[in-house]
Amino acid sequence: MPSRVIRVDEDAIALCLQYGKTVSEGIRAMNARITAQQSSEKPLDPKALEKMIRSCIRDELEVLSRGY
C-alpha cells in the first residue's frame, strides 16, 4: 500500500497509539469504532424529541420563576 508523509501533532500521535501499535492502525481502529457507533444509533422519534424539549423548557421556566 502506498504511503504518504504528513505532519501530525504529537498529541494526535499519542491518541492514535492508544488505539493501535502504529498511527495507521490507530486511525483504522478509531474509524471502526466511529462507524460502529453511528450504525448502532437509532433515529430519534419526533414525539420523544418533542417531549424532551418540552420537559427541558418546563424545567427551565420553573427555575426562572423560583429565582424572581
Give domain status of residue 37, yes or no.
yes
Domain with 40 in it: 10-67
- How many domains, in total, are found in the chain? 1
From CA 54, how far away is CA 46, in angstroms rounded?
12
Give domain status of residue 58, yes or no.
yes
Give domain status of residue 2, yes or no.
no
pLDDT band at 66 (very low <50, low <70, confident <90, very high): confident
Q: What is the pLDDT of residues 2-31, one digit of tens each?
A: 888 889 899 999 998 999 999 999 999 999
Characterize 19-55 residue by residue with b for buried, 16 or more Cβ atoms within 10 angstroms of its Cβ, and e for exposed: beeebeebbeeeeeeeeeeeeeeeeeeeeeeeeeeee
pTM: 0.56
Give domain status of residue 61, yes or no.
yes
